Amino acid sequence: MGQTSKGSRAEIIRWGEKLFERHLVSGWGGNLSCRFGRSRYLITGSHTALGFLNAKDIVEIDARGNAVDPRRQPSSETTLHLAVYETTDARAVVHVHPPEIIAYCRDRSVFVPLSFEEEYSLGRVPVIPHDGPTVTDPAPVAEALNRHPVVILQGHGTVARGGDLMEAFLITDLLAEAVHCRLVMPDETKSPA
């Protein structure tokens, strides 16, 4: 722990602010985590605002999701984050609710980027069916993240993995840009007025 835990808390605060500034999350939505020891994790606490975190909003948990300090309540998506760490080589996970991604992918099963660079970095992004405010079945999400850097939860948001929080942030931001690109593309299926 010590400096490592302290440094990781600072990183979570930093990238939470960036996600908020980029309009990738609002209110009390979303959650961030990172692995900082062999089986130790830091995750944002339940009902915390990602854009305005301070060190006490970040909860240290073990591999079972139990808070090291039992007075602290980790995110309601803790099971999802731990499933991703168990299934992939992720060292950081970003889950947010970007409005354009949610709207554009509401009735799709896959998102295909328009630009070459976005497709190179993101691939074809799966949209995983989903039916509630929290992920009750994390296995398909974690399994998809073994093959993709980011997945879309239908009607909910995104989950990205990275070697660190910056990578998971950049992948999320790039996906938001790729969806924005599709949204501003002229729709050639509409007949001219």
Long-range contacts of 58-63 (CB under 8 A, 24+ apart): 58/9, 58/12, 58/13, 60/1, 60/5, 63/39
Rounded least distance, CB 134 to Zn ion, Å: 7
CB 171 within 8 A of CB 162: yes
Output 118 or 127, the one with its CB closest to Zn ion: 127
Rounded least distance, CB 13 to Zn ion, Å: 19
Output 35 or 81, the one with its CB closest to Zn ion: 81
Q: How far apart are the first and last CA of the chain?
A: 64
* Bridge partner list, 58: 44
Output 126 or 157, the one with its CB closest to Zn ion: 157
For residue 140, give both structure tokens: 């398909």
Output 118 or 148, the one with its CB closest to Zn ion: 148
Closest-approach residue to Zn ion (CB): 157
Output 118 or 172, the one with its CB closest to Zn ion: 172
What span, in angstroms and rounded, lies between the C-alpha atoms of 113 and 111?
6
CB under 8 Å to 108, separation ≥6 — which residues? Answer: 127
Q: Where does this chain bind Zn ion (CB under 5 A)?
A: 157
Rounded least distance, CB 77 to Zn ion, Å: 6
Rounded least distance, CB 159 to Zn ion, Å: 9
Rounded least distance, CB 21 to Zn ion, Å: 19
